[in-house]
Structure 1
Amino acid sequence: MLKKITFVALMLFQCFVFSQTDEIHLISWNIKDFGKTKNSEELDQIAEIVREADILAIQEVVSGYGGAQAVAKLSDILNRKGSKWDYVISNPTKGPKYTTERYAFIWKTRHIKIKNRGFLIGQLESVLDREPFLLDFYTQDKKFTIINFHSRPYNKDPESEIKALSHFVIDSLNTGPLIIAGDFNVDEKMPVFNTLKKSGFQPAITNKKTTLKWECERNNYLNYPIDNIFYSKGVHKIEGRVIDFVKFCEQLEKARKLSDHLPVFFRFRLE
């Protein structure tokens, strides 16, 4: 009888572990001016917000001194919170002056692996101010790709960049599960995303505002729905939501010191 109970308990534990490792938690976050302006306390607050993720995709890492260091410090803080993390940082993008930045990925190494350090998509350098950063991930012998993307501001024609990225993805990267995570500066309901959607891509969130106002208006501090995660066929969505770390108007000023964007959370598994 004891052996039978032990066997059942072991099987339940294995099922639990598999269910935990089968699911992947991705957070995409435009962390404003992510560099030396973020002090240790703020980096610790950021770590608390993202610690339950398996992969963190960061946009707006400062390209000069301080950006790479902030990513390394955040990874180190996360390492001291119970899990082992690793990170990669892109080279600076090659767009016009004052638009240059880096991208970063930080991930838990227990179940997520990489085989290279990723690359900026040079084919888009001439048509995008900040060419996206592509990295292949592996889990349980399955490969999936994440593109980290930050488009131009809303008043500088981000639509043309989204069109160029969409056609590149469909024409050149239709070989497996693919996720595009980032700040698009365009609402996912707009027609510019139809090309991706017709090819099977879906948004992780809809009708969810992700940017912060300077001040609360009628107890509302949210502004525009412009951050998102798009996922292709081969990726099964379990949950998509915005992580609202502000919660109260009284916290808005403090929250904006971390970022003027909220993180997007996506829980999925590979089919």
Structure 2
Amino acid sequence: MFQKILLLFILLISVQIFSQQNEITIVSWNIQDFGKTKSNHELEQIAEVVRDVDIVAIQEVVSGYGGAQAVAKLSDLLNRKGAKWDYVISDPTNGTKYASERYAFVWKTEHIKIKNRGRLLKELDALIDREPFFLDFYIADKKLILINFHSRPYNKNPEAEIIALTQYMNNNITGFVILAGDFNVDDANPIFDPLKKQGYSSAVTNQKTTLKRACDGFDYRNHAIDNIFYSNTIAKTENGVIDFVRECENLEMARKISDHLPVYLGFKLR
């Protein structure tokens, strides 16, 4: 009996220490055409990029054959790198054949738990082509709500989708909240002002996250459209863009992984 009580005490203390001292890092990444076209070598490179973070929110998972398998392979590769990972994949979004996709979350399980497999926000499918994916994570005794989102292209009025999602969040979601994704709109656009007035901040500001097809001198980045917005109940500890290209000569190979760079946010729950 004493051993059981001691073990329980140690577990409680470890949870308290983790919640007080450790930060969580989330990466959001539009991995272009994430499915059967990704080779084992490319999946290994993706795993190396995200191995040291805690949660990965992925957009543009192929809705047909190969998408779910690619996420499973990525999780398996990460499991071989020193930590235990799990994953969830959304149902296909309700867009057209060429707009439909899946979302995925992949995360380290030691301190992060889930109680369900999440859901697409079907309430928004009339307003948003690729309705967001919603999942509750539990860190110690606190619930973190993650929303994974990929808006329609820049020339198809993604602003209307952002307005619809902002209104939904304002009316329905409170607590520790993170909205991660590819918005196809620069974070400086006034369309984000209502979200910011709700107390949300962007992880990165004026940071280009897409890759050009060819290098222009030393410049291979294009548009600042990927971001992570977090509620004022969350304290940012670090942030940035993970540039796995680094040099122009690497651009062609990098684009085989994705035409987007991942963005990240380190944080603590207040």
**Aligned mates of 1:239, 1:23 — CA distance in 2:** 9
Contact 1:234 1:270 in 2 (8 A): yes
1:55, distance to aligned residue in structure 2 (A): 0.4
1:218, distance to aligned residue in structure 2 (A): 1.6
Question: Do the aligned partners of residues 247 and 19 (structure 1) sit closer, same or farther apart at CA in structure 2, a change above 3 Å counting?
Answer: farther
Contact 1:188 1:206 in 2 (8 A): yes
The C-alpha deviation readout for 1:118-147, integer Å capped at 9, x for no partner, is 000011000100000000000111111000
AA partner of residue 210 (structure 2): T
Moved over 4 A (4+): none
Structure-1 residue corresponding to 2:40: 40
Structure-2 residue corresponding to 1:127: 127
Structure 1 unaligned residues grouped into runs of 5+: 1-13
Structure-1 residue corresponding to 2:238: 239
Tell me the matched-pair count.
Answer: 257
Structure-1 residue corresponding to 2:67: 67
Aligned-pair RMSD on alpha carbons? Answer: 1.5
Contact 2:178 2:231 in 1 (8 A): yes
Structure-2 residue corresponding to 1:254: 253
**Aligned mates of 1:18, 1:173 — CA distance in 2:** 26
1:96, distance to aligned residue in structure 2 (A): 2.2
**Aligned mates of 2:139, 2:165 — CA distance in 1:** 26
1:20, distance to aligned residue in structure 2 (A): 8.7
Question: Do the aligned partners of residues 233 and 142 (structure 1) sit closer, same or farther apart at CA in structure 2, a change above 3 Å counting?
Answer: same
**Aligned mates of 2:176, 2:63 — CA distance in 1:** 29
1:233, distance to aligned residue in structure 2 (A): 1.7
AA partner of residue 99 (structure 1): A
AA partner of residue 163 (structure 1): I
Contact 1:21 1:111 in 2 (8 A): no
**Aligned mates of 1:39, 1:234 — CA distance in 2:** 40
Structure 2 unaligned residues grouped into runs of 5+: 1-13
The C-alpha deviation readout for 1:15-72, integer Å capped at 9, x for no partner, is 9x63796310100000000000001000000000000110000000000000000000
Contact 2:19 2:139 in 1 (8 A): no
Structure-1 residue corresponding to 2:114: 114
Structure-2 residue corresponding to 1:136: 136
